[in-house]
Amino acid sequence: MKNAQVRELTKMAITAALYVVLCYAFAFMSYGLIQFRIAEILLILVLYNKKYCIPVILGTFIANMLNGAYDMIFGTLATVFVLLIIILIQNKTVNKIIIAPAAAIINGIIIGLMLFYIFKVPYALWFCMISVAAGEFAVVLIGVLVFHAVEKNNKRFIDLLRE
């Protein structure tokens, strides 16, 4: 394997592992009705390079093993839809504006439905959707702001992401 391939594979493995570690380390707030999944900040990586889709999806799938097969399927599906929107919208400025609301709406609907119908949480469907959406919106918005600050102050890190 060439050095460039090893470097790429390493970056992808680290990204997937980081997603899983962040979910498990903060499991008390990454799963359930009120979700503030810090790992979702990694969605922002796809704004800089589409190749991060694979490790973020893989990380989501592995992290969702903690909740079982339904979360592995539906949670990962929600991530795929959010990343698909990012890829389809080529304008980076537009993506930065819509990523938090898009992630909130998609996760709110899919995960809210899953919590209500499959996991039978004892709350109204609208409450399930809004609670998941609110946490997702907050995390992704924080991620956008953090990456924006990094972009302004650490060009080398951003260049590494774009490679």
Residue by residue, what is the 3-state secondary structure of 44-57?
HHHHHCHHHHHHHH
Cβ pair 78, 104 in contact under 8 A:
no
pLDDT in tens, 8-43: 999 999 999 999 999 999 999 999 988 999 999 999
Cβ pair 104, 134 in contact under 8 A:
yes
User: CB under 8 Å, gap of 24 or more: what pairs does 146-153 form?
Assistant: 146/41, 146/44, 147/44, 147/47, 147/48, 148/96
Reply yes or no on whether the pLDDT at 1 is more than 70. Answer: no
User: CB under 8 Å, gap of 24 or more: what pairs does 75-78 form?
Assistant: 75/110, 75/111, 75/114, 77/110, 78/106, 78/107, 78/110, 78/111
Q: In the predicted model, what is the mean pLDDT of the chain?
A: 95
Phi first, then psi, for residue 144 (nearest 5°) are -60, -45
What is the reported pLDDT for 160?
86
d(CA 66, CA 122): 21
Cβ pair 59, 17 in contact under 8 A:
yes
Residue 155 pLDDT class (50, 70, 90 cuts): confident
pLDDT in tens, 50-105: 999 999 999 999 999 999 999 999 999 999 999 999 999 988 889 999 999 999 99
